Amino acid sequence: GLRVADSQSRVLITIDGYYRSGKVIDHKRNADIAVSVAEQNGQKVDKVLVWPRLRDKSATTTPMIAGRDYDLREVMKGFAGHKVAPVSMPAEAPLFLMYTSGTTGRPKGCQHSTGGYLAYVAGTSKYIQDIHPEDVYWCMADIGWITGHSYIVYGPLAVAATSVIYEGVPIYPDAGRPWRIAERLEVNIFHTSPTAIRMLRKAGPDEPTKYNHHFKHMTTVGEPIEPDVWRWYYNVVGKREAAIVDTWWQTENGGFLCSTKPALNPMKPGSAGPAVPGIYPVILAEDGNEVPAGSGRAGNICIRNPWPGIFQTIWGDPDRYVATYYRKYCKNAQSRDWRDWPYFCNDGAMQAADGYYRILGRVDDVINVAGHRMGTKELESACLTVDEVAEAAVVPVVDEVRGRVTEVYVALKPGIAPSKPIEDKVVSVLETAIGKIARPKHVRIVPDMPKTRSGKIMRRVLAAISNTMDVGDVTTLANPEIVEQIRVMVQGEAKVATKAGPEDIKTFGQE
């Protein structure tokens, strides 16, 4: 609803419901709530167009509102046989708004352009993902996420490829579903996220070997991928036949910024690779000095130059746009020369001697334990070297002596029961890999991680539970029921009064 209000939308296109994990979800109800929230925030929606996805099997009890809600199938009957000419738009005309996940306060709507964005996703689809008209391509992501916009909708259509789109979750009714789809439809290019890869490995580590699918190319996107997870993706999913590109980019960027180029750059587990053609990254220290290229030293990754896919502004908030992405390393606030305004990505990174970048995660997702700054990605990667562990999330906890300490949440591989020895192994690998300072306050073995519909682990929810803070709205998660299960495990059956919490923990895990 806040996004509808922020975008000043007057028409909402939605569906009556959909299927997820064998259940019917009443989406019309959610749409009505969004319309109500928008109106409370000053934006009236005039029309709601509802596509009857469930048809006569609809389990929704949410009524249509006369004069506002319209059955889209019936509306379209009135236009049967009509030809609608495409409308030419200026290259700089807005194409869409993409709201970033995990924001607090006013939503952050990234405004992408028509010409530049389309050119960039077409180019990266062809030259980084090797997509051609004869290919069958499957990006297993959420269309509502920027990856879905760029690499389910616009990119593959621009290069005239056949695309696969599916409904539901990848591990329902079982963990073999993606590989059955790939085999049946002869998919030869596969694209997904590290979280989805971990989920599939956890649910069915040997499932891909049961199916006769063959990928020439595989993409991973959305967050850094641990080397161990990368190797399973390559060896088991790709059957050692596929080139993998470990891509790095963001909602704001339109398309890939760093990636190997298939058949041209060697693959390297755990590294996103060099910059894609036309992108010129630099790693800067907090004081603005450049970290020597190839030194392996960590800093804040920035982009020196503009590029076609970069978003134009934050919708309705240009001052926030400049403050968030350009002010930190601006060399001259009066300058109109782009060379004085490097783009600050808000991600930490390091560059190896071979020129490959390793993305360390959001600069905000750093935990300061007694003066030692530790990246959560490094800690989580160490946890995943424990054989029994399928997923890991590290969050900060307030400590009276050390300021902040870490708490580790892990989900185990199928068939493995929680035990104290597993907790001890997690502690041991952290101390071995990072040092005694990395010893967590607790290791929590949980049945599953709270995740978004795109498969991203919601670390902010876990941090809130660990610090007895309000978890916020979790109704849009893929598995909201897991939040209460974890809360009971950590806090006990009785409801505990929540605290406000310090600012760094309130913003942890958010973008």
Residues 12 and 145 in one domain: no
Residues 402 and 359 in one domain: no
Residues making up the chain, counted from first to last: 511
Which CATH number do you get for residue 168?
A: 3.40.50.12780
Question: Is residue 511, in this structure, part of any structural domain at all?
Answer: no
Residues 15 and 63 in one domain: yes
- What pLDDT, on a 0 to 100 scale, did the predictor assign at position 95? 98
CA–CA separation, 426 vs 71, rounded Å? 54
Total structural domains within the chain: 3
- What pLDDT, on a 0 to 100 scale, did the predictor assign at position 106? 63
- What pLDDT, on a 0 to 100 scale, did the predictor assign at position 101? 47
Which CATH number do you get for residue 500?
A: 3.30.300.30
Cα angle value 338/109/342 (rounded, 5°): 20
Question: Is residue 82, in this structure, part of any structural domain at all?
Answer: no
Residues 345 and 446 in one domain: no
Q: Which residue among 29, 45, 77 closes a domain?
A: 77
Kindly report the pTM of this predicted structure. Answer: 0.78
Helix, strand, or coil here: 130? coil
CA–CA separation, 46 vs 49, rounded Å? 10
Residues 462 and 472 in one domain: yes
Cα angle value 255/258/263 (rounded, 5°): 105
Residues 416 and 324 in one domain: no
Question: Is residue 240, in this structure, part of any structural domain at all?
Answer: yes
CA–CA separation, 5 vs 425, rounded Å? 49
DSSP code of 408? E
DSSP strands (E only) in 134-206: 136-139, 162-164, 189-192
Residues 422 and 498 in one domain: yes
Residues 137 and 35 in one domain: no
- What pLDDT, on a 0 to 100 scale, did the predictor assign at position 351? 94
The two most distant CA atoms of the chain are separated, in Å, by 73
Scan for tokens 């030809």, then name that residue: 83
Residues 334 and 462 in one domain: no
Residues 197 and 221 in one domain: yes
Q: Which residue among 363, 378, 405 closes a domain?
A: 363
CA–CA separation, 370 vs 372, rounded Å? 6
Residues 142 and 65 in one domain: no
pLDDT tens, the chain, 511 aa long: 888 999 999 999 999 998 888 888 888 988 998 999 899 999 999 999 999 988 765 556 789 999 999 999 999 999 999 999 999 999 999 999 998 743 344 678 999 999 999 999 999 999 999 999 999 999 998 888 899 999 999 999 999 999 999 998 899 999 999 999 999 999 999 999 887 898 899 889 999 999 999 999 999 987 778 888 899 999 999 999 999 999 999 889 999 999 999 989 999 998 899 999 999 999 999 899 999 999 988 889 999 999 999 999 999 999 999 998 999 999 999 999 999 999 999 888 889 999 999 887 777 677 878 656 677 877 888 898 899 999 999 999 988 767 789 999 999 998 999 999 999 999 999 988 787 888 999 999 999 999 887 678 899 999 999 999 999 888 778 888 999 999 999 999 888 878 888 877 887 876 5
Question: Is residue 287, in this structure, part of any structural domain at all?
Answer: yes
Which residues, including other chains, have CB under 8 Å from residue 276's CB and lie 6 or more apart? 124, 127, 128, 256, 257, 258, 259, 261
- What pLDDT, on a 0 to 100 scale, did the predictor assign at position 59? 58
For the chain, the C-alpha Rg in angstroms (whole number) is: 23
Amino acid present at 429: V
Long-range contacts of 204-207 (CB under 8 A, 24+ apart): 204/171, 204/174, 204/175, 204/176, 204/414, 205/232, 205/236, 205/413, 205/414, 206/236, 207/174, 207/175, 207/176, 207/179
Domain range for residue 306?
97-363
Residues 185 and 49 in one domain: no
CA–CA separation, 122 vs 127, rounded Å? 9
Picking from 325, 419, 383, the residue whose alpha carbon sits closest to that of residue 110 is 325
